[in-house]
Structure 1
Amino acid sequence: MIKDKSFVLIFLFLSSIIVLFLTIPLIKLFINVGLFGVIDTLKDAEVYNAIFLTIKAALYSVAFVCVTGIPLAYLIARHEFFGKSVLESIIDIPVMVPHTAAGIALLIAFDNGYIGEALSYLGLGFIDTTTGIVSAMMFLSAPFLINSAKEGFKKVDVEYEYVARTLGASHFSTFFRIVLPNSRNDIINGALMMWSRGLGEFGAVVIIAYHPMVAPVLIFDRFNSFGLKYSAPVAAAMIMVSICLFLAVRFVNNRLK
């Protein structure tokens, strides 16, 4: 228990600065647009479709990384091997890369050569497609889920796994019945962070797919074409939908604890 009042007051003052910095722009945006303005904006088919596409693409990217990234996180958390630090660095690189540069790199990698031909053969074109949008979101946000899952696995005592194995449980059974449930909160937090990051992705997406428009690209397009008056309601609508979905997932997760 902290008893030094001056210490607490100083920290409260400093904390209030960052809290106000983070909340004032959102409050001002919603005051400027108004609740009815947000509702009217959501009735616009173009806005609705852009928000729906954004949410759908972000969920697809999270689902793909759950299937591929969680096993990777477990291997990193439980095993020591040559090149492990290099692999962890590779996972973190997308966080540091400028997003437009990431979009160009993805374009070169997946829209040309054998990979581009294979995707086209499978009916998964890259430019101006949902596939390209999902790839951009996934590339730049996957580290959030992988790293969070890795830390969650590290918190689970390996002795639990040894006991389960001695009782006859298979590796898969142990993983799904012991490790995953005990790492659930970290994995869900990582998935939410990844999903949230994907919702806001603009730089890489706009390089790969200007159309169909996701919400961030639509906001940019309206601001560039018509100014603040027409872009602010779209921004407010997207933020409100994101916050509602985020709080709903948090509420369900907390109830399941």
Structure 2
Amino acid sequence: MAWPYSSGMVSCRWTSDPGSMRCICLLPAGLLILLIVGVLAGLLIHLPLSQALVALASAEIRFALSLTLLTSGAATLIAVILGVPAGHFLARQTFKGKMVVDTLIDLPMTMTPLVAGVGLLFLLGNDTVRNTLDRLGIELLFTPWGAILAQVLIVAPIMTRTSRAAFAAIDGRYEQAAQTLGLKPGQVFLRVSLPLARSVILSGVVLCWARAVGEFGATLMVAGATRFRTETLPIAVYLNISSGELGIALVCAWLLIMTGFLVLLAMRWIGTPLAADSAVLRFGP
């Protein structure tokens, strides 16, 4: 059985050879690439260079960019502080209800961010919680601090899951050997476990930061959408599209796209040493 096919740049013939599957996969892969390129072209066509340069010089974009870097950096740092130890604990400890704890930690990753933000809004708006925060002089709702908290809710589970996978891949005998040499549990974690898991954890940090940069739904619910106050890059896109300011909206969109592109490059760069370390992580003596 044979089915010849040829077009412009591609010529192939279907046979029983598994290699011919590449010809079948060309069409869906090509359609996917066309869709992605079409989206990028649509964003680029409506953004003349002169308009882009003017928008880049605007105070609004500078504010949105600086606030985005501040909130995403703070959220990522908090996610690392919470997620890495939690991931190590889940990877090494067995206890009753562990499956429930695992599921609860993973739950924000399956929730729509908008719904997660609504839940966080109701929590912070509770009379008891609000009064407690007021007495402590802490203001979260409709402030940049609220944006940070919303981003932590979204990205901390990602960091926990990534860390757990990293620590679970390490042969536990390394840690046991370190303990027999007199190292305390904290020293074992910092000097043995963490260095062995560094590549995977670093990729998790990059992923969390990228997710925090692009977070919109939960941030909108908790921090609101106020220009020059809680205006991160995604919020700036929303506000300016709503008001018809396409120049600023598209420049912010392209900043987010370029951030995602650089993150993907960083993930692939991090993956190079990770591939070299995988034998140690999985097949240690």
In the alignment, which residue of structure 1 is the partner of 2:66? 52
More deviation, 163-172/246-255:
246-255
In the alignment, which residue of structure 2 is the partner of 1:236? 254
Cα contact 1:33–1:236 (8 A) shared by 2: no
**Mind listing any 5+ residue stretches in structure 1 that lack a counterpart?**
none
Cα contact 2:84–2:160 (8 A) shared by 1: yes
Cα contact 1:42–1:237 (8 A) shared by 2: no
Matches within 5 A, 1:1-257: 4-33=18-47, 37-209=51-223, 210-211=225-226, 212=229, 213-226=231-244, 228-241=246-259, 243-244=261-262, 246=263, 250=267, 253=270
How far apart are the structure 1 equivalents of 2:79 and 2:96? 24
Task: Report sequence identity in percent.
Answer: 27
Secondary structure of 1:33 counterpart: coil
More deviation, 36-45/195-204:
36-45
Amino acid at match of 2:202: I
Higher percent of residues as helix? 1
Give the TM-score of the pair, scaled to structure 1: 0.87
Q: What is the aligned length?
A: 254
Stretches of 4+ moved more than 6 A in 1? 254-257
Distance apart, 1:51 and its partner CA = 1.6
Secondary structure of 2:94 counterpart: coil
How far apart are the structure 1 equivalents of 2:32 and 2:68? 28
Amino acid at match of 2:143: T
Cα contact 1:61–1:137 (8 A) shared by 2: yes
Cα RMSD (Å): 2.6
**Cα pair distance change 1:182/1:111, threshold 3 Å:** same
Give the TM-score of the pair, scaled to structure 2: 0.79
Amino acid at match of 1:146: T
Amino acid at match of 2:43: L
How far apart are the structure 1 equivalents of 2:264 and 2:56? 19
Cα contact 2:124–2:141 (8 A) shared by 1: no
Distance apart, 1:162 and its partner CA = 0.8
How far apart are the structure 1 equivalents of 2:30 and 2:205? 28
